[in-house]
Amino acid sequence: MKKRGQGYGGGSGMHAESAIPIILIVILAVFIAGKFGVVDFSSVPVLNSIFPAPSITVAIIGRPSASMEEVLRSDQYRSAGIVYVGSLDQRSIYAGSLKSFDVILLQADDRNTACDRSARKVIADRIKAGGKLIVIQDACTTMTDDRTVLGWEVGIDSLGDVLPVIVGGVSHEREEITTAPISGKLKIVLFDHKIFSLGQKNFAFSDSRTTRVTPKGNANVLAIIDESYSGRVTSPSTYAIVESSGLFGGKTMYFGYDPAKSAKDGNGLQMFLSTLLYLKGGKG
């Protein structure tokens, strides 16, 4: 015959034992989520030593601006997991050579906007296969071996296949590329987009080279540049940030200006960092 209290004591012990596997499952699930980046623990004290910020490897094809290299090598970007591997020579680009980079960035200066024909195809193929691309201003709008080329929409499997904007064409029908200094205000159009998730606001804009483009059918316009003082957008509009859609796992972000030059204030600096994190799939 059981003494009073035995049944209750045994019951609570059984409940405690049955809860242990559930606790272990929860701990394991949290660990897996942290390791695979499903949940970001990099900003949580103690846990951040176990789950550091995921690394994002960034490579530039072309001629990076001094501002871009400074931003990508900054302490803020490094602490967020950005690993800048430097600029790549086009001659070193071949099929499969871009697989190890999370984000590919195309940038050029006003003296040389040319890309090799084979490099353009390799870049396009990488994005179609799930890669992430940022194109700045008029980078790769000319071709080293064909002076009639002006723009991305040239040839089969062209770079234009993965861009959300159009500029130029071929010699007998092309429009000249307009790249000029612009001052005004950068205005966010799609405020709920993840690259603006930290509450970035419209900010004063001034850049030495800004390229005018036309959005395509697969384009999401995220921000424009308002050059007028009355608040009315000039015509044609200057599109500041345009995102591609419908590229399966791949993604292209087009910047009509050098975002690093506008990254000196808090808005621009965090916005471009949020763009890199967004492309990787991390927390903006």
Lowest mean pLDDT among 114-123, 187-196, 261-270: 261-270
Query: 168 or 246: which carries more pLDDT confidence?
Result: 246
**Six token digits for residue 209:** 């080279």
pLDDT tens readout for residues 249-261: 789 999 988 888 7
The listed range with the strongest mean pLDDT (68-72, 110-114, 170-174) is 68-72
- Please determine, for residue 4, whether its predicted confidence score (pLDDT) is greater than 90: no
Residue pLDDT, tens place only, 124-181: 999 999 999 999 998 988 888 887 778 888 766 688 899 999 886 544 455 567 676 6
Secondary structure (DSSP) of 195-260: GGTT----EEEEEEEEE--EE-TTEEEEEEEE--SSSPPPSS-EEEEEEE---TT-EEEEESS-TT
The domains found in the chain, sorted by start residue, are 56-176+245-280 (3.40.50)
| Bridge partners, 109 (sequence order) | 112
Q: Per the structure block, which two tokens stand in for 163?
A: 């861009």
pLDDT in tens, 196-239: 877 677 777 776 678 888 898 889 999 988 876 444 444 455 88
Condensed to tens digits (0 to 9), the pLDDT of residues 16-68 reads 566 667 766 666 665 555 555 545 555 555 554 555 556 899 999 988 989 89
pLDDT tens figures, 183-197: 778 888 998 899 987
Question: For residue 3, with 0-12 CB atoms within 10 Å meaning exposed, 13-18 middle and 19 or more buried, which class applies?
Answer: exposed
The pLDDT of residue 168 is 61
| Of 94, 92, 102, 164, residue with least CA distance to 123 | 94
The pLDDT value recorded for residue 212 is 81
Q: Which helix (H) or strand (E) holds 271?
A: helix 266-280
Query: The whole model's pTM is what?
Result: 0.77
Residue that wins the pLDDT comparison between 149 and 69: 69
The pair of structure tokens assigned to 263 is 């990254």
Contact yes or no for 269/72 (Cβ under 8 A): no
